[in-house]
Amino acid sequence: MKLIKTFLIIFLLLHRFTVVGQLVFDTTTIDFGELNNDSPKFMDIKIKNIGTKKAYILNYKAPHEITCLFNAQAAEKDSILIFRVQPKPKKTGNFRYEIPIYTSDKLEPTLLLVKGKLTEEIYDPLATMQACPDFRSIPSKHATDFLLTIKTIDKQTKENLEQTVVYLIQQGKEIGRFTQHKSGKIQLKTPLGFIYFYAIHTGYKNNETCKYVNITDNTIIIELEKDSAQLFVKQEINKKTEQITTSEKQIQTQEQKTLNIHSTLDTDLAQETLSPQITPIKASLESIPFDQFDNINFQPINVLFVVDISTSMGIGNRMELMKYSLMELSSILRKNDKMGIVSYANNAQVLLQPTTGNSKIEIQEAIKKLKSGGMTAGGEGIKLGCKTISTNLIEGKNIIYIITDGAFNKDSKNYIESIDHYKKMGIQLCVIGIQNNSHDTINMQKIAELGGGTYTSIQKLADAKTALIQEIRNQSFRKNN
């Protein structure tokens, strides 16, 4: 018996010695970093067989919060296995999991460490892994490795429209301007996530939409409706053009080409009719150019935005409209101005303490982090906003702006008392409505009246470009000038 035991031990040792290290993992740690709905949803590790014999993945033990797949169970000599990992943590905060992977070349498992930090309460792993995934295309950590196709078509005939100009906006910033070619589409590499599309075509009404794009949802179709007013103007121009000499026609054509080349989102939006606003612009302010925000005509302003980031704000264009509006405002702030952000959904939190206007990068980074999800703790948001701005008052205008798509529906008790209390301290409360319906508009106007402030409506991109800036100029205008 002793002899048999000795033989078995020697056999196992020799077997282990001959195959140890046959399967080599390119890493045993996967760090997802900050994980949110815009992050890559899975990562792959490579397991290479550097031995002379076939080797196997025998088994692995993953917790319920981890999904794993591999492209094959056996690895031939000099071949590579792909082991795919997708975390689905149940709550926000740091996560850390160990996955023992048992292979045929070792007596002990290889421990794979998976870690990161979930930063969103509602996390939807869009890149779900199928039973037989395609491992031939290795996923990248970067979010730019897929081709986005954009098509613009006539709403009635469904025919492709050539020469449509499409602007792309993401996180409140323009990321590109593209023209649809004869192929009837635009194709480009683009970051995944929510993108705002603004399309312009001569003879058609402008159209805008916001979509979530990724490697599977990578085709956007924008329908444009003919504009009878534009067509009438074009017909009148054509009649007059017939009376112009050939040389003059050539000059006009060249001027038009130059105009198209230098067309920008700013100029295109400036030509669009804005949605009706509740607060009229002061007569003496009309004479000052819109892009002028100097210390002579405008007093310092301290604005604290209480922003709604509940689930409903993620519907349609709302979140991107809000971000774009805040980004535009941040660009005109002066060093003696301040801007802060309190966000609210299931609860309220200070996202950006009141920060001087010359710290534009810090302000804009905070705006980019705004993501929707959860209930609407509007009352809690107002109270935290009032408290935050009250400890950061300046000599000038101190205003809280609530930005929301509708009425409050969670923890809204006693916010009226807070509004009244802080109004006596000289803190004004205003409301910016993002695509409010008529019923919510009335409610938001009442809240603005309680706070001694105004209500401003943002329904589309042209409003987001100018409405908030005009409201700030209106509030801070020195009346005695």
For the stretch 62-100, pLDDT in tens is 888 888 887 777 888 888 888 888 888 888 889 999 999
Residue 245: inside a domain: no
Domain span at 292: 273-476
Q: Are residues 98 and 169 in the same domain?
A: no
3 within some domain: no
- pTM score of the predicted model: 0.65
Same domain assignment for residues 152 and 100: no
Check whether residue 218 and residue 300 sit in a common domain: no
The CA distance from 261 to 258, in Å, is 5
Q: What distance in Å separates the CA atoms of residue 94 and residue 241, rounded to the nearest whole number?
A: 68
Q: How many CB atoms lie within 10 A of CB 125?
A: 15
Q: Which range has the top average pLDDT, 59-73, 309-323, 329-343?
A: 329-343
Going by pLDDT thresholds of 50, 70 and 90, the confidence category of residue 413 is low
On the question of pLDDT at 18 being above 70, the answer is no
Q: Distance (Å, rounded) from C-alpha 306 to C-alpha 342?
A: 5
- 279/360 same-domain check: yes
Q: What tens digit of pLDDT does each residue of 269-315 get?
A: 888 888 877 677 776 888 889 889 999 999 999 999 999 988 788 88
- The per-residue pLDDT for 409 is 56
Looking at per-residue pLDDT, the higher value among 401 and 267 belongs to 401
In the chain, the number of structural domains is 3
Tell me the one-letter amino acid at 5.
Answer: K
**Alpha-carbon gap, residue 74 to 90, rounded angstroms:** 33
Contact 281, 474 (CB under 8 A): yes
Give the H or E element holding residue 458.
strand 452-458
Residues 179 and 155 in one domain: yes
Can you tell me the distance from the alpha carbon of 110 to that of 71, in angstroms, rounded to the nearest whole number?
Answer: 18
We report the CATH number of the domain holding residue 87 as 2.60.40.10
* Main-chain phi, psi angles of 399, to 5 degrees: -130, 135
**What phi and psi, each to the nearest 5 degrees, are found at residue 226?**
-60, 140
E strand or H helix that includes residue 246: helix 246-261
The last residue of one of the domains, among 141, 165, 185, is 141
* Whole-number Å distance between alpha carbons of 118 and 93: 5
For residues 188 and 201, what is the distance between their CA atoms, to the nearest angstrom? 20
